[in-house]
């Protein structure tokens, strides 16, 4: 502001008066910093919040009512130390003088050492927590600010990173703090804190480094049946639900699979997952690995032994009499139609279905009489419906009488059987079906021996597409499956075992094609190598295949043009 | 000339002393240094009187006066009143007034012609002030503060007010008081002007914390640089006497 000429000053006869005009702000609000920072920022003053002067209040009120008020112009005053003109403030000193007198960052930490684990990119918060954070991230900023002591004596307004070379092992943070100084002025100052980063492996990484194959929990999944269909199916389920993402190692064993985990909780979670998709019974044990008796900590290895029930789909079962009676006289010969965490049993003669959950099964643990390896082919000579279509537990069956003959018998002899079957909706004259041949089977089963009633000669299970498959030219399918990353102990088996595995896998794939409800829980992916064969025209009657809209396009994050929209079933 | 001093290591000299054109009051107690500084400056010109008011040392804030009179609060003891009447020149009227606001030095700021008072002062007090001190009384506020006696000081030549006073207020006050005014600070940025500074027409005393800048502002507004008691008379003589015969 400038000097003004004296107005009507009789005393000093025209001598220029030193009128230095002034301002009105004094008390500074908390919310808006009047900043006298190192960068000599002096913001425009704001109306005071803490103790408004009476004139301010009156002004505000008067203006509200609409009265005439005199505008108050803020003048300037000389700094009491250096004498430069400045806007007045509570300390009546210019920014420079105030800064040179008072340093509010005195007593605050400027150098801190922090500890970093290079394996898992985390920082140590003593005494024992490790916090994962990237360089220049929000979490790292919060962590660094928390490590500063005495920061509660001042009010922190702003914090940000100053760029340092990533390999320099230094992190710099610029902090702006505010503190009240003499006469109620609030001074804001910026300063830098430097963090020295020291490398140290955290305990879990150290343990992993020392012994990379170290597992803490092992889940041994077993099913005592001669085939591996269940494990193929389980593998697909595990892939779909990502249940084995925490597994350190997966090993394929005889009659089962072993999963190894780094934490007990992962093992428990996996066991529960398996319990939800298959009827299982499990046992757990632990073994002491090391202990620290001074601090009472013990390290164990935990083993979970999970046994899956040996009953599979399409098995023929002869129920023990007690169980049969308790299920309401379900005829002792039943077919297992579906296995999830319950077993669904269907009596083919009465079309009654019932469910057994895992506990009930293991209480009366019966074995299958005949399983799908022992299916024989039959030719349908004649079909006659007995009852109309029924809906049993979600699937449709038609009770019918069928006149069948074994395919191996055709042309050789005249043996035929009349059998009551539940597949009346699928089969018709001239079809092939697969079923169990009880007439010529030599079964070694107590329950069956004890049974007094009539045992049917044949139990039909499903329709056979064998001939049509042989006619089919196509070798490849339009879809494919992913597989788990398993270690297989190869050496001892030999080629026969491998061939057996391949045929079983092929059967499993055929099963998937034939049964939409089996596919329901899995993810199938489109096979890129598949070309529909040019030559073959009408496949005639459907060999069942997977309709295209059930396939998931395999997500390819490469450079090629993106796949069409994913189609999810 | 402005002098820097301290009362018992405290820079608020305006609290412990009262300086006018006709006399000077100084608080008792403490070392003789305080008293002797005043004596050295003023002894041959005006009487320097050591006193207490109401048994306290804060005499500067309890009494208000100019060369014509002195006003004392109701709790001044009779001995003190008598002592003051005896020590001060006869032209000075010493009066004890009954007023609810007994810190008269904080409520009244005056020179030989005009006084600014606390807006809540009684009507009788106002009349008494006009009578005893022979001044024109204005009820005012300074920078929104009602205790005008603390936040502004003026003599017959100039005045210093609270640093946060706006330009409009400054103009208004200046018109009322008919002296040039400056907003500034004393004692290293303190805005309680009258507590840190006591002034008359030719001399001023301020706390030792006062910086050189503040001191130069004080000296320029109160025109103390060339000021001597005789300088006033010389100036008047120049304007009064036309020719020497």
Give CA–CA dist A174/A158, Å, rounded.
8
How many residues in total does chain B contain?
245
CB contact under 8 A, B190 and A17: no
Whether the Cβ atoms of residue B93 and residue B68 lie closer than 8 Å to each other: yes
Predicted model pTM: 0.51
Interval A94-100 mean pLDDT: 81
Q: Give Rg (Cα) of chain B.
A: 17
> Is B180 within 8 Å of A54 when comparing Cβ atoms?
no
CB B100 within 8 A of CB B89: no
The more confidently predicted of residues A363 and A29 is A363
Cα separation, B160 vs A92, in Å, equals 15
Q: What percentage of residues in chain A have a pLDDT greater than 70?
A: 79
| Residue in A closest to B218 by C-alpha | A18
Q: Taking CB atoms and an 8 Å cutoff, what residues of chain B touch A80?
A: 185, 188-189, 211, 213-214
Q: How far is the alpha carbon of B64 from chain A, nearest alpha carbon, in Å? A: 23
Is the CB of residue B180 less than 8 Å from the CB of residue B174? yes
Q: What is the mean pLDDT of residues B201-216?
A: 92
Residue B188: list chain A partners with CB under 8 A.
80-81
User: Which residues in A lie closer than 8 A to residue B226 (C-beta atoms)?
Assistant: none
Q: Which of A61, A68, A80, A101 to mutate to test the interface with B (most CBs of B within 10 A)?
A: A80
Q: In this complex, do B180 and A24 lie within 8 Å of one another by their Cβ atoms?
A: no
A7:B185 CB<8 A: no
Q: Are strands A297-308 and A280-292 parallel, antiparallel or unpaired?
A: antiparallel
- Number of Cβ within a 10 Å radius of residue A453: 7
Q: Which of B10, B7, B3 is nearest to B34 (CA)?
A: B7
Nearest to B163 among A11, A77, A83 (CB): A77
Report the pLDDT averaged over residues B220-224.
Answer: 91
State the Cα–Cα distance between residues B126 and B130, nearest whole angstrom.
6
Contact (CB<8Å) A53/B167: no
Contact B166 A21 (CB under 8 A): yes
Mind listing the pLDDT tens digit for each residue in B155-196?
Answer: 999 999 999 898 999 999 999 999 999 999 999 888 899 999
Provide the pLDDT confidence category of residue A531 given band limits of 50, 70 and 90: low
Taking an 8 Å cut-off on Cβ atoms, the answer to whether B188 and A24 are in contact is no
Q: In B, which residues are within 8 Å of A17 by CB distance?
A: 174, 180
Nearest residue in chain B measured CA to CA from A98: B189
pLDDT top residue among A275 and B233:
A275
Structure tokens, A197: 């980063």
Under an 8 A CB cutoff, do A80 and B216 touch?
A: no
Contact indicator for B94, B49 with CB cutoff of 8 Å: no
Do B167 and A75 lie within an 8 Å CB cutoff?
yes
3-state SS class at B32: helix
Give the closest-approach CA distance of A20 to chain B in angstroms.
6
- Asked if A83 lies within 8 A of B213 by C-beta distance, the reply is yes
* Cβ separation B168–A53 shorter than 8 A: no
Q: Which of A92, A102, A181 would you mutate first to test chain B, the one with the most B CBs within 10 A?
A: A92
Chain A positions touching chain B (beta carbons under 8 Å): 1, 6-12, 17-26, 53-56, 70-75, 77-83, 88, 91-93, 182-183
pLDDT at residue B245 in the model:
64
pLDDT beyond 80 at A478: no
- Both tokens of A114, joined, read 């922090």
Q: Which of A10, A23, A91 sits opposite B166 (nearest CB)?
A: A23
pLDDT above 80 for A31: no
More confident residue, A488 or B72: B72
What is the per-residue pLDDT for A420?
87
Percent of chain B with pLDDT over 90: 76
Does the distance separating the beta carbons of A182 and B189 come in below 8 Å? Answer: yes
Q: Is the pLDDT of residue A27 over 60?
A: no
DSSP of B55-104, one letter per residue? TBS-HHHH-EE-SSEEEE-TT--HHHHHHHHHHS-TTSEEEE---SS--H
Residues of B in contact with A19 (CB under 8 A): 167, 170-171, 174, 180-182
Query: Is the Cβ pair A78, B184 closer than 8 Å?
Result: yes
If you search the block for the tokens 């009602």, which residue do you land on? B146
pLDDT for position A215 = 87
Contact (CB<8Å) A71/B185: no
Mean pLDDT of A372-389: 85
- The alpha carbon of residue A15 is apart from the nearest alpha carbon of chain B, in Å, by 10
- The strand pair at B181-183 and B159-161 is best described as parallel
User: Distances from the Cα of A473 to the Cαs of A467, A506, A535, B28, in angstroms?
Assistant: 12, 16, 9, 125
Residue A115 has what pLDDT? 93
**CB pair distance less than 8 Å for A183 and B190:** yes
A258, containing H or E segment: strand A256-261
Q: What is the mean pLDDT of residues B206-225?
A: 91
Q: CA-CA distances (angstroms) from residue A421 to A311, A380, A385, A424?
A: 21, 12, 10, 7
Interchain pair B175, A183: CB under 8 A: no
Q: What is the mean pLDDT of chain A?
A: 78
Per-residue pLDDT, averaged over A35-54, amounts to: 37
Instruction: Supply the mean pLDDT for chain B.
Output: 90
- Say how far apart CA A74 and CA B165 lie, in whole Å: 8
In chain A, % of residues over pLDDT 90: 19
d(CA A454, CA A449) in angstroms, rounded, equals: 11
Please report residues of B whose CB lies closer than 8 A to that of A9: 174, 178-180
Q: Element (H or E) spanning A347, and its range? A: strand A342-347
Measured distance CA(B104)–CA(A387) in Å, rounded: 118
Do A70 and B168 touch, CB atoms closer than 8 A? yes
pLDDT tier, B93 (very low <50, low <70, confident <90, very high otherwise): very high
Which are the contacts of A159, defined by CB distance < 8 A and separation ≥ 6?
A141, A145, A173, A174, A175, A176
Q: What pLDDT is stored for residue A472 in this prediction?
A: 65
Question: What is the rounded CA–CA span in Å between residue A551 and residue A523?
Answer: 7
What does the pLDDT look like over A299-308, one tens digit per residue? 899 999 999 9
Interface test with A, best of B119, B152, B164 (most A CBs within 10 A): B164
Strands A390-392 and A186-199: unpaired
Interface A:B, Cβ pairs < 8 A: 120
Which residues, at least 6 apart from A108, have a Cβ–Cβ distance to it below 8 Å?
A148, A150, A151, A153, A154, A177, A191
* A127 preceded by a cis bond (ω within 30 of 0): yes
Question: Mean of the pLDDT values across residues A75-80?
Answer: 84
Query: From CA A97, how far away is CA A99, in angstroms rounded?
Result: 5
- CA torsion angle for A82, A87, A92, A95 (degrees, to 10)? -60
Q: Is the pLDDT of residue A52 over 80?
A: no
CB count in 10 Å sphere of residue A202: 20
Chain B closest-CA separation from residue A10 CA (Å):
7
Residue B52 confidence (pLDDT): 94
> How far is A461 from A374, CA to CA, in rounded Å?
11
- Rounded to whole angstroms, the Cα distance separating B28 from B16 reads 9
- Count CA atoms within 13 Å of residue A499 on its CB side: 3
Domain boundaries of chain A, sorted by first residue? 3-64, 103-199, 212-308, 316-464, 476-568
Beta-carbon separation of B221 and A74 below 8 A:
no
A537 falls in which pLDDT band (50, 70, 90)? very low
Report which of A68, A110, A109, A93 is spatially closest to residue A182, judged by C-alpha positions.
Answer: A93
- Residue A486 CA to residue B124 CA, distance in Å, equals 107
| CA A106 centroid distance within chain | 49
Residue A26: closest C-alpha in chain B:
B164
CB atoms within 10 A of CB B107: 26
Chain B residue numbers with beta carbons less than 8 Å from the beta carbon of A8 are: 175, 178
pLDDT grade for A491, boundaries at 50, 70 and 90: low
Mean pLDDT of the region A413-423:
85
d(C-alpha B46, C-alpha A360), whole Å: 119
Which of B183, B196, B216 has the highest number of chain A CBs within 10 A, making it the mutation to test binding with A? B183
Are A282 and A306 in contact by the 8 Å Cβ rule? The answer is: yes
Residue A210 confidence class, pLDDT cut points 50, 70, 90: confident
Of the residues B111, B171, B178, B180, the best mutation for testing chain A's interface (the one with the most A CB atoms within 10 Å of its CB) is B180
Q: Quick one: how far is CA A500 from the chain centroid?
A: 35
**Would you state the structure tokens that stand for residue A290, as one six-digit string?**
């090391």
CA closest to B113 among chain A residues: A11
Given B157, B180, B213, which is nearest A18 (Cβ)? B180
Q: How far is B51 from chain A (nearest CA, A)?
A: 32
CB contact under 8 A, B164 and A72: no
User: Across the interface, do B213 and A81 touch by the CB < 8 Å criterion?
Assistant: yes
Task: Name the residue with higher pLDDT: A339 or A443.
Answer: A339
> What is the percent of chain B where pLDDT is above 70?
92
Backbone angles phi, psi at B153, to 5 degrees: -140, 135
The strand pairing partners of A281, in sequence order, are A307
Yes or no, beta carbons of B164 and A9 under 8 Å apart: no
Interface test with B, best of A20, A22, A47, A79 (most B CBs within 10 A): A22
Measured between alpha carbons, how far is A349 from B123 in angstroms, rounded to an integer? 120
Cα four-point dihedral sign A420, A422, A427, A428 = positive
The neighbouring-strand residues paired with A259 are: A219, A250
ipTM above 0.90, yes or no: no
**Beta strand extents in A73-135 (DSSP E only):** 77-78, 85-86, 111-117, 122-125, 129-132
pLDDT digit string (tens) for A319-366?
888 888 898 888 788 999 888 888 999 988 888 889 998 999 999 888
3-state secondary structure of A89: coil
Measured between alpha carbons, how far is A98 from A101 in angstroms, rounded to an integer?
A: 5
Q: From chain B, which residues contact A within 8 Å (Cβ)?
A: 141, 143-146, 156-158, 163-171, 174-175, 178-185, 188-191, 211-214, 216-217, 220-221
In chain B, alpha helices (H):
13-16, 32-42, 59-62, 78-87, 104-107, 123-133, 148-151, 167-177, 193-196, 212-221, 229-240
> Contact at 8 Å (CB) between B120 and B162?
no
CATH of domain A103-199: 3.10.450
Helix A229-241 to helix A495-514 angle (10° resolution) is 60
pLDDT band of A550, cuts 50, 70, 90: low
Instruction: Give B167's contacts in chain A (Cβ within 8 Å).
Output: 1, 19, 21-22, 72-75
């Amino acid at each position: 502001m400038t000097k003004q000429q004296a107005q009507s000053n009789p005393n000093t006869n025209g001598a220029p008066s030193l009128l230095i005009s002034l301002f009105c702000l004094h008390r500074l609000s908390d919310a808006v910093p009047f900043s006298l920072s190192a960068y000599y920022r002096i913001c425009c003053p704001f109306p005071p919040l803490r103790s408004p002067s009476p004139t301010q209040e009156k002004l505000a009120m008067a203006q509200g009512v609409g009265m005439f008020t005199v505008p108050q112009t803020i003048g300037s005053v000389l700094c009491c130390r250096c004498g430069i003109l400045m806007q007045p403030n509570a300390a009546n000193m210019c920014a420079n003088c105030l800064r040179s007198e008072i340093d509010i960052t005195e007593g605050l930490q400027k150098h801190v050492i922090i500890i970093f684990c290079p394996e898992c990119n985390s920082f140590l918060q003593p005494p024992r927590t490790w916090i994962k954070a990237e360089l220049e991230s929000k979490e790292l900023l919060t962590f660094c600010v928390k490590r500063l002591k005495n920061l509660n004596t001042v009010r922190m307004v702003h914090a940000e990173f100053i760029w340092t070379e990533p390999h320099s092992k230094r992190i710099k943070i610029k902090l702006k703090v505010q503190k009240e100084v003499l006469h109620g002025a609030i001074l804001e100052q910026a300063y830098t804190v430097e963090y020295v980063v020291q490398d140290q492996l955290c305990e879990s990484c150290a343990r992993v480094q020392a012994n990379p194959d170290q597992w803490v929990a092992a889940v041994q999944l077993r099913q005592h049946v001669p085939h591996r269909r269940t494990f193929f199916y389980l593998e697909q389920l595990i892939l779909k639900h990502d249940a084995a993402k925490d597994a350190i190692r997966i090993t394929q064993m005889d009659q089962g699979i072993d999963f190894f985990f780094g934490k007990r909780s992962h093992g428990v979670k996996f066991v529960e997952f398996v319990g939800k998709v298959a009827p299982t019974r499990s046992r757990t044990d632990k073994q002491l690995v090391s202990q620290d008796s001074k601090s009472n900590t013990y390290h164990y290895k935990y083993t979970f032994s999970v046994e899956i029930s040996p009953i599979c789909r399409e098995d023929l079962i002869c129920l023990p009499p007690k169980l049969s009676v308790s299920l309401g006289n379900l005829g002792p010969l039943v077919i297992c139609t579906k296995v999830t965490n319950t077993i669904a049993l269907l009596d083919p003669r009465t079309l009654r279905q019932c469910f057994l959950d895992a506990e009930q099964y293991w209480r009366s643990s019966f074995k299958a009489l005949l399983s799908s390896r022992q299916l024989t082919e039959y030719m349908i000579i004649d079909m006659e419906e007995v009852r109309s279509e029924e809906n049993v537990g979600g699937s449709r069956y038609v009770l019918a009488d069928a006149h069948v003959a074994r395919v191996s018998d055709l042309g050789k002899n005249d043996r035929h059987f009349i059998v009551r079957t539940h597949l009346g909706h699928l089969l018709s004259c001239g079809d092939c079906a697969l079923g169990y041949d009880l007439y010529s089977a030599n079964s070694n089963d107590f329950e069956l021996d004890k049974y007094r009633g009539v045992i049917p000669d044949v139990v039909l299970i499903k329709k056979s597409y064998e001939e049509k498959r042989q006619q089919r030219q196509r070798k490849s399918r339009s879809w494919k499956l992913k597989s788990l990353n398993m270690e297989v102990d190869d050496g001892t088996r030999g080629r026969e075992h491998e061939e057996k595995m391949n045929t079983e896998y092929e059967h499993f794939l055929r099963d998937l094609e034939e049964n939409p409800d089996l596919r329901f829980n899995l993810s199938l992916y489109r096979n890129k190598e598949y070309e529909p064969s040019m030559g073959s025209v009408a496949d005639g009657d459907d060999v069942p295949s997977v309709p295209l809209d059930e396939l998931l396009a395999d997500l390819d994050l490469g450079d090629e043009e993106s796949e069409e929209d994913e189609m999810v079933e | 000339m402005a002098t820097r001093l301290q009362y018992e290591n405290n820079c608020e000299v305006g609290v412990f002393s009262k300086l006018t054109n006709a006399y000077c009051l100084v608080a008792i107690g403490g070392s003789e240094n305080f008293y002797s500084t005043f004596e050295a400056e003023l002894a041959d010109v005006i009487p320097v009187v050591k006193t207490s008011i109401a048994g306290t040392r804060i005499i500067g804030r309890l009494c208000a006066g100019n060369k014509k009179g002195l006003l004392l609060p109701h709790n001044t003891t009779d001995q003190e009143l008598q002592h003051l009447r005896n020590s001060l020149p006869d032209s000075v009227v010493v009066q004890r007034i009954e007023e609810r606001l007994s810190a008269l030095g904080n409520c009244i700021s005056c020179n030989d012609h005009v006084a600014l008072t606390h807006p809540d002062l009684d009507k009788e007090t106002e009349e008494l002030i006009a009578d005893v001190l022979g001044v024109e009384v204005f009820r005012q506020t300074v920078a929104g503060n009602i205790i005008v006696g603390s936040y502004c000081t003026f003599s017959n030549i100039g005045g210093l007010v609270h640093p946060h006073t706006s330009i409009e207020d400054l103009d208004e006050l200046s018109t009322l008081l008919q002296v040039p005014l400056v907003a500034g600070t004393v004692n290293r940025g303190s805005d309680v002007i009258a507590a840190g500074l006591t002034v008359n027409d030719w001399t001023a005393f301020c706390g030792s914390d006062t910086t050189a800048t503040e001191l130069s502002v004080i000296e320029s507004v109160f025109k103390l640089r060339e000021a001597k008691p005789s300088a006033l008379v010389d100036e008047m003589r120049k304007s009064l006497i036309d020719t020497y015969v």
